[in-house]
Structure 1
C-alpha cells in the first residue's frame, strides 16, 4: 500500500499527540520533523524514530521526501507556514484554527486553489467515530427534528499569565480560538446554517483577551424548525465539555465531545442506544488517515472539513467578537 510521507512542523504538545497517533495510520509514514531549535527537532525525531530532523522550517518545505505537512505552530503562524508549504508543493493539514481571521482564511484558500494544493483544517473532532455515529443517528431521524444543540469546552488556565501562549495577545490568545472553535464547529456540523442572530456574554483577562464566553445562536429557520445552539468556552473554569443534539423525539449526548470516544441516544430518560469506539489512541489517526485517502484519490479538498466549513468557523467567531 502506498504511504503518504508526513513532515511535522513544530515540536509542541499537539505535535507530540499527532506523532503518537500517526504511528497507527497504515497509509502514513512519519519521515521528517522541523523546529526552530535543532536540539528540539533532534530530540523529537529520536523519540518517534523519525529519520530526518531539520533546524528551521524552510528545510522541511524544501525536503523532497515529504508529501504532506502537519502545521502545528501557534495560530498566528498558520497562514505563513501553510502558504509556504503549499507553495513548495506539499499537502497541508493545518491545526485548528486554520487562521486567526476570515480574511486570512480566504487568502490561504486562494493559495490552495492557485497552487492546486491540498489544504484542510485539522478539525479532528469531525472524524471521530462517535461523532460520525451521532450524525448517522440524526440522519436516520432517531431524534426527530433538531431543536437545540448544546456544547461547551473549557479548562482553567490559571493563574493568568500574559506571557503564556493561550493568553498572549500577540499570538492571537483568548479562549475563542483556542477552545471555543470546537463548540462553534460542532454547531455547524449538525446545523449547517449561519445563525440569524448571536447573543454573547464575554469576560476578559487583565490584558484584554477573552477568557470566558457564553454564546446563544438563534437559527430562525433551521430545517423548517427554529432552533438554537447554546455554546460556551472558558479559561476560568472546567466546563462540562459535553455536547447534546436535542430533537423533538429524543436526544444524543456526547461526553468530552471534542475528543469523543462514545455517544448515547436517549428517548426521554431512557438510554436506547450506545456507541463506544474502544480506541486506545488519542484519536488524531482518523483525520490523518482521511487526509492520506484524499491524497491517494487525487482530491484537493476534504469532504468532511471542506474550505467552506473553515470559512464559516471564522465568520462566526468574528460575529461573536463584534458583540464583546
Structure 2
C-alpha cells in the first residue's frame, strides 16, 4: 500500500499535534513542511524528522513530492493556500475556522473541480465516542431536540494570535464556538432552516479581541441549542448535553477527551458518556463506555487518508456537509453579535 505523502503549511502548536498523530498512522507519511518563517519550518522539521523543508508554501504545493496538505495557518490565509493546493491536485485537510462560509465553499468547490478531497480538522468528530452516540441515541434517549454546550479554557495571553484581531478577527467566536456549532451539526443534525440565532460577546479592553460569549440557536422545527464559550473563567470546561425526548446524554470532555486529548493524558480514565433518564439520582445514572487507546487526532488522520482514496464517496460528501453547516451557523452567530 502506498502511503499518503503529506506536507504541512504552518509550524505552530496545532501543527505539532498533527505531526505527532501522523507518526501513529501507517497510511500517512509526513514528508514536507513550509512556513512563513523558514527558520521555524527548519526547527519543526528537525523536531519531527521531516526530510523536505520549503522556503514558501507555493513551492511545496507545486511539488510532486506530496499528495496532500494540512493547512495550519491564520484564518485569513487559508483560502488562498487551499485553493492553490487543490489546483495542484493536493488533497486538503484545513484547520478551522474559516473567514466565512463563502470562503469555505470556494475551497470545497476547488477540491471538487480538481478531483481531490476536502476535510476540516475537527478532532472530536473522529473520536469513536461520536459514532457510538449517534448509533444508539434514538434507541436510548429518543430523537434529539436540543444540545447544550459550554467550552472554556483559561487563556489570557494577549501576545497570542487569538488576541490579534487583524489575523483572527472573530477571536474566541471562531476559536471556541466552532465546537459548539459542530456539536449542533454532529448531534442535533438540523434539517429545518434556522429561525433565530442571537447572543452576546465580551471583548478584551486592551486588544478588543473577543474573549467570552454566549448564544442561542433555534430552528424552524423547534430544535434548539444554547452555548457558552471563552477564555476567562479560570478553568477548562467542555460540557455537552444532548436532550432527547426520553433522556439525556452528557459528558464533560466533548472537545478533548480526558484520556487522550492532547492537553490531557489520564490513562486511567475510560472515555464515554452518561445517560440520565426519568427521576434518577446521580448514583443511578448509567455510564456508557466508548473507550479507545488512541487519540482522536490519530483517528482523524487515519480517516483523512481513507477519504483521499475515494473522493466521490459518501464520506467525502458528509465531511464537506459538516464543515459547511458548522461554518454557516458560525457566520450567522457572528453576524448577530458582532
TM-score by length of 2: 0.86
* CA distance in 2 between partners of 1:317 and 1:247 (Å): 24
Q: Residue 117 of structure 1 contacts residue 300 of structure 1 at CA under 8 Å; is this kept in 2?
A: no
What is the DSSP-based 3-state SS (H/G/I as helix, E as strand, rest coil) of the residue aligned with 2:103? helix
What is the DSSP-based 3-state SS (H/G/I as helix, E as strand, rest coil) of the residue aligned with 1:259? coil
* Match among 219, 227, 230 for residue 223 of structure 2: 227
Structure 1 residues 240-251: aligned runs within 5 Å = 240-251=237-248
* Match among 130, 146, 149 for residue 148 of structure 1: 146
Between 14-23 and 38-47, report the one with greater CA deviation: 38-47
Q: Report the CA distance between 1:239 and its aligned residue.
A: 5.3
Structure 1 residues 86-165: aligned runs within 5 Å = 86-97=86-97, 99-139=98-138, 141-158=139-156, 161=158, 163-165=159-161
Question: Are 1:23 and 2:23 matched, yes or no?
Answer: yes
Between 150-159 and 269-278, report the one with greater CA deviation: 269-278
Structure 1 residues 196-211: aligned runs within 5 Å = 196-206=195-205, 207-211=207-211
Task: Give the structure 2 partner of residue 53 of structure 1.
Answer: 53
Task: Give the structure 1 partner of residue 325 of structure 2.
Answer: 312
Task: Give the structure 2 partner of residue 42 of structure 1.
Answer: 42
Q: Report the CA distance between 1:266 and its aligned residue.
A: 2.8
**Using a 3 Å threshold, how does the CA distance of structure 1 residues 28 and 213 change in structure 2: closer, same or farther?**
same
* Match among 163, 172, 180 for residue 168 of structure 2: 172
* CA distance in 2 between partners of 1:301 and 1:37 (Å): 38
The Cα offsets for residues 91-148 of structure 1, whole Å up to 9 and x where unpaired, read as 0100111x21122122222222322222111122111111221111214x20123232
Q: Report the CA distance between 1:4 and its aligned residue.
A: 0.8
Q: Report the CA distance between 1:279 and its aligned residue.
A: 2.4
Structure 1 residues 224-303: aligned runs within 5 Å = 226-237=222-233, 238=235, 240-260=237-257, 261-267=271-277, 268-269=280-281, 270-279=284-293, 281=295, 283-299=296-312, 302-303=315-316
Q: Report the CA distance between 1:310 and its aligned residue.
A: 2.1
Q: Residue 115 of structure 2 contacts residue 311 of structure 2 at CA under 8 Å; is this kept in 1?
A: no
The Cα offsets for residues 298-323 of structure 1, whole Å up to 9 and x where unpaired, read as 44774485323222222222221222
Structure 1 stretches lacking a partner, 5+ long: none
The Cα offsets for residues 38-85 of structure 1, whole Å up to 9 and x where unpaired, read as 322222122222221222212211221211101011111110111111
* CA distance in 2 between partners of 1:313 and 1:244 (Å): 18
Q: Residue 153 of structure 1 contacts residue 179 of structure 1 at CA under 8 Å; is this kept in 2?
A: yes
Q: Residue 147 of structure 2 contacts residue 241 of structure 2 at CA under 8 Å; is this kept in 1?
A: yes
Q: Report the CA distance between 1:248 and its aligned residue.
A: 2.6
**Using a 3 Å threshold, how does the CA distance of structure 1 residues 2 and 264 change in structure 2: closer, same or farther?**
farther
Q: Report the CA distance between 1:230 and its aligned residue.
A: 1.2
Structure 2 stretches lacking a partner, 5+ long: 258-270
What is the DSSP-based 3-state SS (H/G/I as helix, E as strand, rest coil) of the residue aligned with 2:130? helix
Q: Residue 152 of structure 1 contacts residue 240 of structure 1 at CA under 8 Å; is this kept in 2?
A: yes
Task: Give the structure 2 partner of residue 68 of structure 1.
Answer: 68
What is the DSSP-based 3-state SS (H/G/I as helix, E as strand, rest coil) of the residue aligned with 1:258? coil
Between 300-309 and 60-69, report the one with greater CA deviation: 300-309
**Using a 3 Å threshold, how does the CA distance of structure 1 residues 158 and 209 change in structure 2: closer, same or farther?**
closer
The Cα offsets for residues 258-307 of structure 1, whole Å up to 9 and x where unpaired, read as 123432323334233421424254x2111111111121234477448532
* CA distance in 1 between partners of 2:309 and 2:115 (Å): 15
* CA distance in 1 between partners of 2:155 and 2:311 (Å): 42
